Amino acid sequence: MKAHNLDTMLDNRLEEFKEIISRSVCVNCIHRDDCMYIAKAAAPIHTCEMYDYGYEPKTNLVLVPPSQSVTEPDPATIPQTGLCINCENRESCKYEKPAGGVWHCEEYL
């Protein structure tokens, strides 16, 4: 029950924050993403000494709940490329195997 209340509170605060930004000079300020004032704002900001026009949004990050998190694939299931495909040492090899393949290896047999 408490988790639901926390989620509701966070959703409400996020909506309030979006409303504050949309009604503030912050909406098109280039310092918007790393502004120390907007994080503490309780009402729209109409004047700011840091304001500078020209905001371009950065890539949005999405938080994924732990139940939906992406796990790293098992290296044994990733198809090998490069020298590892037919190396006699591939079963016991301890070296990193980058996605693009290994093309120079002193241990290759």
What are the pLDDT digits (tens) for 43-99? 999 998 888 888 776 666 666 666 655 666 666 666 667 888 888 888 888 888 777
Q: What pLDDT does 1 receive? A: 47
In a domain, 64, yes or no: no
pLDDT at 58: 64
Residues 21 and 48 occupy one common structural domain: yes
Tens-digit pLDDT profile for residues 22-39: 898 888 888 888 888 888
Do 43 and 82 share a domain, yes or no?
A: no
Q: How many domains does the chain have?
A: 2
Q: What is the pLDDT of residue 21?
A: 86
| 48 and 77, same domain (yes or no) | no
41 has pLDDT over 50? yes
User: pLDDT at position 4, please?
Assistant: 63
Q: By residue range, what is the domain housing residue 24?
A: 2-54
Distance CA 88, CA 91 (A): 8
The pTM of the full predicted model, rounded to 2 decimals, is 0.41
**108 part of a folded domain:** no
Distance, in Å, from the CA atom of 36 to the CA atom of 55, rounded to the nearest integer, reads: 16
- 55: exposed, middle or buried (C-beta count within 10 Å: 0-12, 13-18, 19+)? middle
Q: Is 61 part of a structural domain of the chain?
A: no
In Å, how far are 34, 41, 55, 62, 102 from 38, measured between CA atoms?
9, 5, 14, 20, 48
From CA 2, how far away is CA 25, in angstroms rounded? 36
Residue type, 62: V
Q: Does one domain contain both 43 and 81?
A: no
In degrees and rounded to multiples of 5, residue 32 shows phi and psi of: -55, -40
> Does 62 reside within a domain?
no
Residue 22 belongs to a domain = yes
Q: Give the residue, 60 or 104, on which the prediction is more confident.
A: 104
Q: Are residues 6 and 42 in the same domain?
A: yes
